[in-house]
Each structure stands twice: as C-alpha cells, then as structure tokens.
Amino acid sequence: MSETHEDIEVLIKKMAEDLRDHLARSGITDPVMVGIHTGGAWVAERLHRLLDLEQPLGTLDISFYRDDFTRIGLNPQVRPSHLPFDVDGRHVILVDDVLSTGRTVRAALNELFDYGRPATVTLAVLVERDGRELPVQADVTGRHMALRRNQHVKLSGPDPLELKVQDVD
C-alpha cells in the first residue's frame, strides 16, 4: 500500500489550512516552525512555504535524546539540529511525518527545551497511527492510518514524497 506524491501534497495543503485555523483559534500570531529529521523536516518545508512564515525553518535531530540509545546505539548519520531563532517565549509548531509510539515527540520536546522555554508547542503530523506508548497527541493531522502491529509506515523523499506501508518481521 502506498500514497502517491500528489495525494501527499493534497494532505499537506489540508494540514496547512487546519494549522491556520488552529493558530487563529488559539490566538497565536508569528509562530516559528521546527521539523524533525528527516521526514518531518520535508513536511515542514512545505508547510512553512504554504503558511508563508516569516522566521526561517528550524530542524531537530533527536538522536542525542533517544530513550533507546543504549539498546540500539547512536545513528552515525546524525545531522546537527538547527534552530535559527530564539525559542524562549515563542509559539513553536513542531512537525513530524509519522506519530506512532510518541517517543520521537517526547525526545523532540526535551531537545527543544534545551534551547529555551517556548510559550506553546503545537504538534502537526502527516500521519497518525495507533500504537501510542506515551500520552502524546497531535493538534493537526494529515490523516489517520489504521495499521496492524506488524506494519510500518515510512515517508520517503524529499522530492517526490511517498508514503509506503510495509510488513515488518
């Protein structure tokens, strides 16, 4: 099963509209956006353009904040996080490709707070699936996917973007 590039671009446009509504309802102006490496950063690039945000896009690599580091080791391809703005007191839109267990978001929040204390954090994800292990929920979701436990959804990109569901052993 896979979603085509066109389907994903439509999903991201819908996410941008939902984000606009969410920010308006919450009274948030001038937010900053941060994408989580790697897929989250690809989705964030598009959302950042569609929302026409003033501040440059930030990126987070959560490798140094993973809770399973001693079990699976360090990813040698860590890309440095880059937050080209002051996080203190800002309204941050955190973007990821897939929300599953919630552990990536937890790690991203930990890292974000090492840069400062944001006023709010809004979570936007392209795909939300079940399997949460932590109490994390998205404010804006592209789509929900009902998957079996042995299924894995992966975003490939950056251009074109493609979502693939695969069975894992």
Does 13 contact other proteins by CB under 8 A?
no
Residues 98-127, one symbol each (x = binds other proteins by CB under 8 A, - = not), give: xxxx-xx-----xx--xxx-----------
Does 134 contact other proteins by CB under 8 A?
no
From candidates 18, 53, 152, 162, binder to other proteins by CB under 8 A: 152
Does 61 contact other proteins by CB under 8 A?
yes
Dihedral pair phi/psi, residue 95, rounded to 5°? -120, 130
Do 120 and 92 meet the contact criterion of CB atoms below 8 Å apart? yes
Does 59 contact other proteins by CB under 8 A?
no
- Pinpoint the alpha helices (H) of 56-117: 69-72, 103-115
Count residues contacting other proteins (CB under 8 A)? 39
Does 135 contact other proteins by CB under 8 A?
no
Q: Tokens 């897939």 identify what position?
A: 98
Give pairs for 50-56: CB < 8 Å, separation 24+.
Answer: 50/12, 50/13, 50/16, 51/16, 51/19, 51/20, 54/30, 55/30, 55/84, 55/85, 56/84, 56/85
Does 129 contact other proteins by CB under 8 A?
yes
CB nearer to other proteins: pick between 29 and 72: 72
State the residues that interact with other proteins by CB under 8 A: 37-39, 61, 63-66, 68-81, 97-101, 103-104, 110-111, 114-116, 129, 152-154, 168
